[in-house]
Structure 1
Amino acid sequence: MKRPVRVAFLLLALGFGAWAVAGQWDEIRAGFAELSWQALVLSLVAVVAALCGGMMTWRALLADLGSPLPFRSAAKVFFVGQLGKYIPGSLWPVLAQMEMGRELGVPRSRSAAAFFLTMPVQLGSGLVISGVTLLAALPGSAVPYAWIFLLIPVLAVVFEPRVINAVLGFGLRKLKREPLERPLTRRGMLTALGWALLGWTAYGLHLAAIIHALGPSGVSVVLFSIGAFALSWCLGIMTFVVPAGAGVREVAMVAVLAPVLDRGSAIAVALCSRIMIIIGDLVCAGFAGLAARRVTAPRGDAARGKAV
């Protein structure tokens, strides 16, 4: 990805992200006013950990398909590319990751496969962990959403590597692209699922920190928070046309939080969660870009010295 294009992409993504925040600024400010700085710090740390879990899920799939990337390089491609989710349309993140990955020797088809595989992995693991944690914390809270858990058996079949590889092969043939050099393995899929589950746990801790500052606390609330966040994400991700699920996930979260919070508090929690995730995206993208630059800069200096 050429530098002017990358700069334009980043400015556009940041602009849409700022617009999403500005549109609900009064409600957001009111919600943050009720949070202590300790809650904000804990929430942000948990968000960063959760985002890293998502990155490691994608990295595990990409490595299993034949393109293992060093942690810093993978972080830069993933986190900077993920800023594209704030731009209207669903393809900006994958296009950015394909172009940035190509600079590191990752074929575009492999980047696209890892990107599109990450979503069902997160969806399936999110449904599983939300079902388990909501059942353990507050059994009746999952009843209104029982229909979505019917997807779990379907996704369990999809997670079988032979099925995934056949679907990927069919899609690449239809697009007249070369087949993947390496098929996905069961070990790679389990590794990705493990990272995804850790990511959901961190997201739940992020939500629990906010809820604790506004009202209830305890182990059951932590378990409920893990399930509530994962379930609201799974509900929101089904609306692909909305940038980063803007609005949809918050509406779903308000509904899911109803058993433990009144409507006003639930709206405040959902909005605060949204902003913390936006901040986390920016923090991760910024640190990943700086870390990757520190790695590549000495090589460039060495190359210039050698040429002299």
Structure 2
Amino acid sequence: MTVRDETTQTPAAQAEATAQAAPPSRRARARAWIRAAVLVVMVVSAVAVLAANREAVLDALTEIEPWYVAAALPGAVAAMVAALFVWRSLLADLGSPIAIRDAARVFYLSQLGKYVPGTVWSMVAQVELSRDLRIPRRTSLAVGVLAIAVSVTVGLTTGSAILLIAAPGVAEHFRLFLLALPLLLTVLHPAVLTRLLNLVYRLLRRQPLPKPPSWTGMLSAAGAQLLVWVALGLHIWPFLVGIGADPAEALPVAIGGYALAYSLGQLAVGLPAGAGVREAALVLAFAPYCPAARRRPWWSP
């Protein structure tokens, strides 16, 4: 009777063990260094942006009671969570479902790229970090593009609809930008999306998408993105109330105005996180509902 040696491995297992034991190739080491360098650049850029605006932030915080700031935090956290589910649902719809923990690591690290001039850096970070999860580059790149398209389309649609009802005078300022809505809605049709993305990949001599987007996936992402805009509006609402805006009037303007402003900022590709464009749009949206006079600091007698 022959006893089988449990240490004996199949050829495939031996090859895998050999590959894991082998030292990383020169190309792999170069990739690791490049990834580390990009991460350092993103972190340094984020710190630089925060440092450059430190005095303005501190000055603004002295003009509003601290409990209004605390009231804004839940909305900000909820928006970050909903944004993660937008990205993850699009990824799953294109054939690459991943665990929430892995999705959070890739998504939140990549958001540091928003502080580097140019919207593409966040997307580049997503593509690179997704490779560790064996997600094809073409899939993660398509998801990055789709996430921006869904965000802008839902933001312009939601913002314009709310402001046309609650604040038509504010909506008037953004009427030219709303002309892009029919084009964006057409492009987000799954059939149109599939043809456009595969055409781009064919021109780049890349393989087509492993799985085309579906109506279910796009509607799921759009629903999560709607939650993002509502949460961000609830995040900014306490600040408006804190500087004197009427709570009932400010709520729809906070949601609609922020959705429109942030969406326009995302279209400003050359600026970090849409800085400048977003703030100008916020001023147009919020100025009529905020007192012109500056309030005294909350801590002053």
TM-score, length-scaled by structure 2: 0.83
Is residue 2:67 matched to residue 1:38?
Answer: yes
Match of 1:163 among 148, 169, 192: 192
CA distance in 1, matches of 2:264, 2:278: 7
Cα deviation 1:83-134 (Å, max 9, x = unaligned)? 1111123322122111211111111110000000111101110011101221
| Structure 2 match to 1:293 | none
- The 8 Å contact of residues 39 and 210 in structure 1, kept in 2 or not, is answered as yes
Report the Cα distance in structure 1 between the residues aligned to 2:199 and 2:231, rounded to whole angstroms.
Answer: 35
Matched, 1:189 2:236: no
For residues 62-89 of structure 1, the C-alpha deviation after alignment (integer angstroms, 9 at most, x for no partner) is: 1000001111111111110111111123
Q: Work out whether residues 87 and 221 of structure 2, in 8 Å CA contact, stay in contact via their aligned partners in 1.
A: yes
Per the alignment, residue 46 of structure 2 pairs with 17
Q: Which has the higher helix share?
A: 1
In the other structure, the counterpart of 2:144 is 115
The match for 2:283 among 254, 257, 267 is 254
For each residue in 1:207-256, what CA deviation from the matched residue of structure 2 results, as whole angstroms up to 9, or x when unmatched? 10111111113233111100110111122222101111122211221122
Counterpart CA distance in 1 for 2:80 and 2:64 is 22
Instruction: Choose from 53, 67, 79 the match for 2:108.
Output: 79
AA of the residue aligned to 2:175 = A
Task: Considering Cα pairs closer than 8 Å and 6+ residues apart, tell me whether 1 or 2 has the greater RCO.
Answer: 1
Shift of 1:189: 0.4
Partners in 2 of 1:122 and 1:17 — Cα distance? 22
Deviation at 1:6, TM superposition (A): 4.5
Which position in structure 2 is the counterpart of 1:203? 232
CA deviation string 1:8-54 (max 9, x = no partner): 33332222122222323332211111233322222122112112222
2:217 and 2:99 map into 1 onto residues whose CA distance is 16
Give 1:152 deviation, angstroms: 1.6
Q: Is the 8 A contact 1:137 1:221 kept in 2?
A: no
Contact conserved, 2:83 with 2:225, CA < 8 A, in 1?
A: yes
RMSD: 1.8
- 2:287 is paired with a residue of what secondary structure? coil
Q: For 1:75, what is the secondary structure of its paired residue? A: helix
**2:116 matches 1:91:** no
C-alpha separation between the residues in 2 aligned to 1:142 and 1:89? 28
Partner of 1:49: 78
Separation (CA, whole Å) in 1 of partners of 2:88 and 2:70: 27
C-alpha distance in 2 between matches for 1:248 and 1:115? 21
- Residue range with higher mean Cα deviation, 248-257 or 77-86: 248-257
The answer to which of 52-61 and 87-96 deviates more is 87-96
Amino acid in the other structure paired with 1:232: A
Q: Do the aligned residues in 1 keep the contact of 2:253 with 2:285 (CA within 8 Å)?
A: no
Distance 1:161 1:6, change over 3 A: same
Contact 1:129 1:197 in 2 (8 A): yes
Q: Please say if residues 205 and 225 of structure 1, whose CA atoms lie closer than 8 Å, have aligned partners that are also in contact.
A: yes
CA distance in 1, matches of 2:195, 2:35: 34
Letter of the 1:36 partner, please give it.
Answer: E
Contact 1:254 1:263 in 2 (8 A): no
Q: Distance in 2 between matches of 1:116 and 1:259?
A: 34
Matched, 1:213 2:242: yes
The residue identity in structure 2 corresponding to 1:133 is I
Match runs of 1:63-78 below 5 Å:
63-78=92-107
Query: CA contact under 8 A between 2:265 and 2:278: conserved in structure 1?
Result: yes
- Percent identity, aligned pairs only, is 36
Stretches of structure 1 lacking an aligned partner (at least 5 in a row): 266-308
What is the CA–CA distance in structure 1 between the aligned matches of 2:212 and 2:232, rounded to whole Å?
31
TM-score (norm 1): 0.81
Deviations for 1:116-171, whole angstroms, at most 9, x for unmatched residues?
Answer: 01111011100111012212322221012111112222122112100000001100
